[in-house]
Amino acid sequence: MLTGYRTIARNGEHEIEIRRSRFRCLLSRVDDEDAARAVIAARRKEHWNATHNCTAYVLGAASDKQKSSDDGEPAGTAGVPMLEVLRRRELSDVVAVVTRWFGGVQLGAGGLIRAYGQAVAETIDLFGTVELRPCRLVTVAVDFPQAGRIEHALRDSAYPVLAADYTDRARFEVAVAEEALPEFTEWAVTISNGAAELVHGELTYVEGRQ
């Protein structure tokens, strides 16, 4: 059975300064390794003159793809503590890049571990997290005379409307938790007076409503 997982609520960056070294953390939501690598490459290009661009990412609903890089810092002092923060917060589908500009004062291994971990942790706190829940995509199709009323009811409901299409009929793509499918089906039939056609599609992950 599929379970939900957490990721960052929004992308963003945040900077801390420790003993004159600057640590700027970028967090970005990503869907796969290609996207994670693209974020990392863009950051390294943007901050080509920085001392280090250290990275960590976790991917997949099961958090089964994980990777980190110290980018020239002593082994285990940058990417690993960054990755550990992502793991400890139970986040996935996120890449972190911490750019460091050396301030002239050596921090030592312990100081580096704390600094890189702190940069990621503070950025997560600043931009927040959200739960992604497994849902079935359900297309609700009705004739045009009922379209406005049905769309209004759907958008006021607890079921997220992901897309709307008006071609030969009005079709609304709705995300419904698997356990809620019988209840949703009954509700949709009732509000449409039996006129709605429901087609079940693929499973996806959507942000849970708070």
What pLDDT is recorded for position 2? 63
What pLDDT is recorded for position 210? 37
Each residue's pLDDT tens digit, 124-167: 999 999 999 899 999 999 999 989 999 999 999 988 899 999 99
Place of tokens 């497994």: 134
What pLDDT is recorded for position 73? 95
DSSP H or E stretch at residue 203: strand 197-207
DSSP H or E stretch at residue 10: none
The C-alpha atoms of residue 46 and residue 57 are separated, in whole angstroms, by 19
* Range(s) of the chain covered by CATH 3.30.230.30: 5-127
Q: What percent of the chain has pLDDT over 70?
A: 98
* Range(s) of the chain covered by CATH 3.30.70.240: 132-207
Each residue's pLDDT tens digit, 75-113: 999 999 999 999 999 999 999 999 999 998 899 999 999
Mean pLDDT of the chain: 93
Could you tell me the end-to-end alpha-carbon distance of the chain, in angstroms, rounded to an integer? 23
The C-alpha atoms of residue 186 and residue 209 are separated, in whole angstroms, by 21
What pLDDT is recorded for position 107? 92
CATH number of 5-127: 3.30.230.30
The C-alpha atoms of residue 67 and residue 47 are separated, in whole angstroms, by 21
Place of tokens 């996207």: 35
CATH 3.30.750.24 assigned to domain 132-207? The reply is: no
Would you say residue 55 has pLDDT above 60? yes
pLDDT bracket for residue 4 (50, 70, 90): confident
Contact between 207 and 175 under an 8 Å Cβ cutoff? The reply is: no
Average pLDDT score over residue span 16-39: 96
